[in-house]
Structure 1
């Protein structure tokens, strides 16, 4: 555990998030340059494919090949057609507390999107929130309840799994035929839930704060720890069964399985997550390592 070789694929980002493997390339959002980029898995060569002034985050694809991109600050989903035309797919402001964040798109083209629930960068008091389901026609509806900073999402058959960064674990839902989320339950509790309070009171006691995450073929989850701990492989129920340590000057905030054989784990790393430190710095990196179990 923790002894894998880490390779640097890209340097000089502001804050990488939302990594995806799609059509033989990595896609990644870079918060403070306002760009969505592709990355060649062999050379690290980058291409800007979309500019998002409102700060890009989660990425996903609809059945027609359109890319959906979260615009965090204005709470919108942008849709980039295969020809490159960009339109507003949905404005979900009425359902957001704080920044819009990560998303996942299912095989029907329905997007499930999380939001912070509160203004993290201004250190407002944390508050629970919901997911937002955006149907292919752009109609938005809230789903779930009492989620503490819903973050990365994964779909495993008819189950949607969501990381709760301020909840210390993962919740799960059953996806109904119409796309609604039912049977909200605990998928895995990694650290005990802490009592609600201020950010200063909650953060030091979280124990583990699951951030960006990815599902493997054995139904386990690789998850970044938003408070700087190792990236961990987590079994259903919440047991940590493997972990990857990073150098002391870096923390991982998102990860994704991909590569041609699915065995490459891409890690989005930076010294910290604070906007005041990251906006003008170019210290974020993309790292890769090889894992035994491939992507789901």
Structure 2
């Protein structure tokens, strides 16, 4: 296993609140700055929120606690693309759009138990014809998602189960054949997929990003001095791993004036692949 200490990671920017949902799009790195309402613009989205793009280039924003999937129009305005309120009693979290325009949003689920912030999670599908349906349930804290380049496999981070879980994707977007993709010694948050079929996952309490094969073999670890919330492969030939990180002080302190968020980068052994 290859170790990459923090000294090998390049600091790109600092002074963020909580960076989340990083995306490489149109030659630029985009991310959500939780606690401020900022993406690369300020949006009226409620934490948690995440982003991706439709095939035609329009930006989508998940406004988690509002239960709304928003779409940015050509004039910059945000309109409701899909209303998810009736499908969950918990906030929505992450989004990924595949190469066919199918939109997967996760999080949500039943009302959280006392003292918990999220109930068992779900995945919903919003199709290009705007139909909305649940395609998976009982996710143990639904977090990052990644899609294979052939649109046939979806991988999701189940943070509270310390695993990556995979589904087969049917032609109509339905998910089936749920299986453990990798058991992990950690708590996966945001994830991304590379061209060798490995997954990078960010881990907040363990303060690192880890590259693993299907089955759980650890290939590389990048350790830094604060919690890693998400990661994305981008840059020239998509061979740069971008890491968004911040000091974690608990859910109750996510919205504050403290600005410990950073974006760091490290050279990756294989380029990014699939979606997002």
Could you tell me the TM-score, scaled by structure 2's length?
Answer: 0.90
8 Å contact kept, 1:62–1:108 = no
Moved over 4 A (4+): 116-122
CA deviations 1:67-97 (Å, max 9, x no partner) are 1111111011110124423111111122224
Q: Please state how far the C-alpha of 1:255 moved relative to its aligned partner.
A: 0.5
Match of 1:244 in 2: 222
- Considering only aligned residues, what root-mean-square deviation do their CA atoms show, in Å? 2.1
Name the residue aligned to 2:79. 87
The answer to whether residue 30 in structure 2 is matched with residue 30 in structure 1 is no
Q: Tell me: CA distance 1:126–1:275, structure 2 relative to 1, closer, same or farther (3 Å).
A: closer
Tell me the distance in 2 between the aligned counterparts of 1:60 and 1:111: 9
2:210 pairs, out of 232, 237, 246, with 232
Instruction: Give the whole-Å Cα distance in 1 for the aligned partners of 2:98 and 2:74.
Output: 18
**Secondary structure of residue in 2 paired with 1:166:** helix
Alignment of 1:157-196 (within 5 A): 157=150, 158-191=152-185
Q: Which runs of 5+ in 2 are unaligned?
A: none
Which residue is equivalent to 2:134? 142
Secondary structure of residue in 1 paired with 2:252 = helix
2:229 pairs with 253, 257, 265, which one?
253
Deviations 1:223-271 (A, max 9, x none): 0113234211011012222101112xx1101010000221111111000
Distance between the aligned counterparts of 2:249 and 2:67, measured in 1? 20
Q: Is the partner of 1:52 in helix, strand or coil?
A: coil
- Structure-to-structure mapping, 1:56-67, within 5 angstroms: 57-67=49-59
Greater shift, 70-79 or 2-11, is seen at 2-11
Please name the residue that 1:2 is paired with: 3
Q: What is the CA–CA distance in structure 1 between the aligned matches of 2:249 and 2:126, rounded to whole Å?
A: 27
Tell me which moved more, 152-161 or 135-144: 135-144
Q: Which has the higher contact order (CA 8 A, sep 6+)?
A: 2
Q: Distance in 1 between matches of 2:238 and 2:227?
A: 23
Q: Is the 8 A contact 2:108 2:122 kept in 1?
A: no
Deviation at 1:173, TM superposition (A): 1.1
Task: Look up the match of 1:219.
Answer: 197
Q: Is this contact kept in 2: 1:121–1:275, CA < 8 A?
A: no
Contact 2:45 2:62 in 1 (8 A): no
Post-superposition offset of 1:274: 2.5
What is the rounded CA distance, in whole Å, between the counterparts of 1:273 and 1:233 in structure 2? 25
| Residue in structure 1 matched with residue 97 of structure 2 by the alignment | 105
TM-superposed CA distance for 1:182, in Å, is 1.5
Q: Which residue pairs with 1:271 in the alignment?
A: 247
Aligned-partner SS, 2:237: coil
Question: Does structure 2 retain, via aligned residues, the 8 Å contact 1:97–1:129?
Answer: no
Deviation string, structure 1 residues 14-48 (Cα, Å, up to 9, x no partner): 111000000111110111101112xxxxxxxxxx2
1:54–1:183 distance in 2 versus 1, CA, 3 Å? same
Mark the CA change 1:223 to 1:116 in structure 2 (over 3 Å): closer, same or farther.
Answer: farther
Q: Which runs of 5+ in 1 are unaligned?
A: 38-47, 192-207
SS in 2 for 1:261: helix
Aligned counterpart, 2:260:
283
Identify the match of residue 295 of structure 1 among 263, 272, 275: 272
Following the alignment from structure 1 to structure 2, what is the Cα–Cα distance between the partners of residues 253 and 76?
A: 23
The CA deviation at 1:127 is 3.9
